[in-house]
Structure 1
């Protein structure tokens, strides 16, 4: 049993860090830098990103982002997500945690690096009417869609499974707007209401598309190539992400809340329990990225020693 638990914990850490027994090299570097960065302890961003709810939010964001044909074309035509999905996940986690916990220079450097990687991601796609358009991953409007889907996923997941957010959900949207600006989003929304209004405009304007490519992507997200020990928990968390979606987006994605005959399964409770188990496995208390940030903040006098 002890070996089983150790292997399970190791595989869990490998998913989030790329290694079962070593931190990514970028994590200790979060202790470097000469300013507080964009976010501080007690902020809405630290509260949300330091919880377990981003596990659900990340899946939800991927599902939502796949509905924009330009975003999906970029992933399918310029990404190795099928061959090495964990590498793509690790890069995303690095960017999120660097903007969350790093110095201003680190956050800006990480965002610039992502934008450089996005620079060659260009091509054409067909909309729902069959018209052909060009796309670029660094296009401000496409970046807006990705940002909105991200923020909506993280706010919604935390509202369902997380604790309170300092300043409320609007504070998270306002604070994480800086991440949107770093990625080229012009005038990102500053409130939940405005964020969801902008998000739904894509739906109302007919900019979203559910086709065979979306179905293929949803199938991959539903059944990624995870270690067998992680699959039962992942199935529950995936169901939680589906549960959190607005019904019209869920319908577009061809997804349903799991049911046993006429009765819906207790997805909300099962997801909460699963996140609690993951939290226990990863270790309670601040994660390594937060610890590194606190070390920098103590050095600079923002926190007591």
Structure 2
């Protein structure tokens, strides 16, 4: 049972999303295992977000703790009540308040940064969102209600409590934003150090074969230009797609069909009058 189950189950209020909406569908899917790896790779390519991770994160000394914090934010924001989302955003904002320093840009200019800087926060959001979207499109068999635009538009609400009020709301806007950041991306020795860690994290030996494959699947889903920057080859999406789809199905089968988080969220939505007999009946 995840420790944030209580945050999802508590309250009789609705949350940001419903079970038939795009963020819920995408974030409840096993393709998020690939999306999380891909997001880390994308975020590492920006010197600002990279410096924040290296200087203020416990990713090396406590990798599972670092990952747990990210999963908690994603889970609570997607499935919990608006009250719990506000509480979780406050936790993240307080953490971000201590993340500050200097970094060298792609043109070797030293600049100040904070984790709450809207420009850096926007990159982290876009890299995260695009990675989860593409991973779902490539490796899940579940259609996204409303397609890419619906996911991007609805997930933009997730970062408003973090101070980002102008996130892209369509796929065209997201792609334009990614292109805008292209000139800021760079690969340095520090970048390669983080990428090596993402590629070979200190996981239990029993988990490494599956993780290694999922890492390759994440890399395969990235545009060629980003594969070139990362410098770990060009795994074929055509090859990895069918195998990854089946691997994720096997992982889901091994875990079991139950989803305590979704079940708790749906029970809360029934109490809130938003659902009846597991069907959405209200969007107010």
Q: Which range, TM-score by smaller chain?
A: over 0.9
- Residue 138 of structure 2 aligns with which residue? 160
Q: 1:271 aligns with which of 227, 230, 244?
A: 244
Alignment root-mean-square deviation, CA: 1.4
Provide the secondary structure at the position in 1 that maps to 2:146. coil
Q: Find the counterpart in structure 1 of residue 268 from structure 2.
A: 296
Question: Which residue pairs with 2:282 in the alignment?
Answer: none
Match of 2:150 among 147, 153, 171: 171
Q: Do the aligned residues in 2 keep the contact of 1:67 with 1:209 (CA within 8 Å)?
A: yes
- Cα shift at 1:130: 1.6
Instruction: Report matched runs for 1:223-302 at 5 Å.
Output: 223-258=200-235, 266-285=239-258, 287-302=259-274
One of 55, 67, 89 as aligned partner of 1:89: 67
Cα deviations by residue, 1:263-303 (Å, 9 ceiling, x for unpaired): x9822222222211211122124x11111111111112222
| TM-score, with structure 1 as normaliser | 0.87
1:236–1:274 CA contact under 8 A, matched in 2: no
What is the count of residue pairs matched by the alignment? 276
Matches within 5 A, 1:99-118: 99-118=77-96
Matched, 1:64 2:36: no
Q: Which of 183, 186, 194 is 2:162 aligned to?
A: 183
Q: How far apart in 1 are the matches of 2:7 and 2:124?
A: 27
Q: Which runs of 5+ in 2 are unaligned?
A: 278-284
How far 1:25 sits from its partner (Å)? 3.0
- Aligned twin of 1:132: 110
CA contact (8 A) 2:12 2:269 kept: no
Per the TM alignment, residue 28 of structure 1 is displaced from its structure 2 partner at its CA by 2.9
Aligned residue for 2:177?
A: 198
Question: Contact conserved, 2:7 with 2:76, CA < 8 A, in 1?
Answer: no
Contact 2:122–2:167 at 8 Å: present in 1 too? yes
C-alpha contact 2:34 2:214 (8 A) present in aligned 1: yes
Query: Are the aligned partners of 2:48 and 2:120 in contact in 1 as well (CA < 8 Å)?
Result: yes
SS at match of 1:275: helix
Instruction: Point out 4+ residue stretches in structure 1 off by more than 2 angstroms.
Output: none
Partner residue, 1:215? 192
Q: Deviations over 1:6-44 (max 9, x none)?
A: xxxxxxxxxxxxxxxxx2332033121232111011010
> Quick check: 1:119 aligned with 2:91?
no
User: What is the alpha-carbon distance in structure 2 between the residues aligned to residue 281 and residue 200 of structure 1?
Assistant: 39
Q: Tell me if the contact between 1:29 and 1:292 (Cα under 8 Å) persists in the aligned partners.
A: no
Question: Are the aligned partners of 1:236 and 1:270 in contact in 2 as well (CA < 8 Å)?
Answer: no
SS in 2 for 1:266: helix
Q: Which residue of 1 aligns with 2:9?
A: 31
Query: How far has the Cα of 1:184 moved from its partner?
Result: 1.6
SS in 1 for 2:191: helix
